[in-house]
Structure formats: C-alpha cells, structure tokens
Amino acid sequence: MPHSDSQALQSLYREHHPWLQGWLRSRLGNSADAADLAQDTFLRVLRARNAASIREPRTYLSAIARALTIDKFRRQDIERAYLGVLTERDEPLDISPEQRLQILQTLTAIDLMLDTLGRRTRDIFLAVQLEGLGYAEVGERVGVSVTTVKKHMIRAMTHCLMLVED
C-alpha cells in the first residue's frame, strides 16, 4: 500500500471508526456485532486501496456497513434454516465445525447467486433443479413456452458458471 493511502486509511479510521461503530450499534442494538462490522467495513476499505480518494467518508462507510449488515442477516437466516432442517431429521448427523462452516458458506453463496437472478429465471431454475420438473411442466406452471423455459435455464446456468469461474 502506498504511503499516502496508508496515511489516509489511518486518518479515516481515527476520525470515523467511533462514529461508524456507534451508528452500527444504534441499528443492531448489539455492541459486539457493531464492533465486528465496523472492523469488517475498514477491512473492505483496506482491500479496495482507495482511502485517499474517498470524498464523502460517512456516506461511503455507511454504505459498506449497510451491505455487510445485510450479508450478516442473510447468513443468520440461512444458518437458522439449515439448523431447522437438521433438527427435523430422524437421525442426527455428526458434522464437524469445519464441515458446518463449509456447508453454511456454500449455502450462502448459492443464496446470493439465486438472489442475483431475475424472479422468473430463479423460479424456473428452482422448479427444474430442486423439484425435478420437466421444461413442459415448468412452462405450464409459469405460463410460458418450453423455448422460454430453455432460455431462462440457459441464463441461469450461464450465470452460475460465471460466478464459479470468478
């Protein structure tokens, strides 16, 4: 990191970290989560290497923190759903903490990928992939032709492949 960007980051942290942590605490109602998300926000700034070019620091920092907060809530929702499914099983699974983390990270990545698809494309993709419906059945359900279902599936699969390659 160039010296000027390092100094800019230090200055940004010194001047805005207490404010950001307070801003997060008021929204989350939890000091520990606010501290973690404030640190994660500055880590994003560090990785972006753009501290010297930030013109509206509080707007910029709050936008990053807001996105991180949304990600945190999304991960918590996924974890609750995953744990709910595990408790419904007749036989317990012996999963290590590492496996559990890997599963939750994979589920979170899948959720994010699905969230970036359009609603109709996502619905068609899930009907084919999870419900095992054929293209004609999906087309009938959604009210589109088989050709349209194919186009949506191509769009979804291409999207998945692009994300995997990144």
Give pLDDT tens digits along the chain (166 positions).
Answer: 555 778 999 999 999 999 999 999 999 999 999 999 999 999 999 998 888 889 999 999 999 999 999 989 988 998 898 888 888 878 877 888 899 889 888 888 888 888 888 899 999 999 999 889 999 999 999 999 999 999 999 999 998 888 766 5
| Structural domains of the chain, ranges and CATH numbers in brackets | 3-83 (1.10.1740), 92-165 (1.10.10.10)
Count of beta carbons in the 10 Å neighbourhood of residue 47: 8
Whether the CB-CB separation of 57 and 9 falls below 8 Å is answered with: no
- Statement: the pTM of the whole predicted model exceeds 0.75: no
Q: Is 2 helix (H, G, I), strand (E, B) or coil?
A: coil
Q: φ and ψ at 92, to 5 degrees?
A: -70, 150
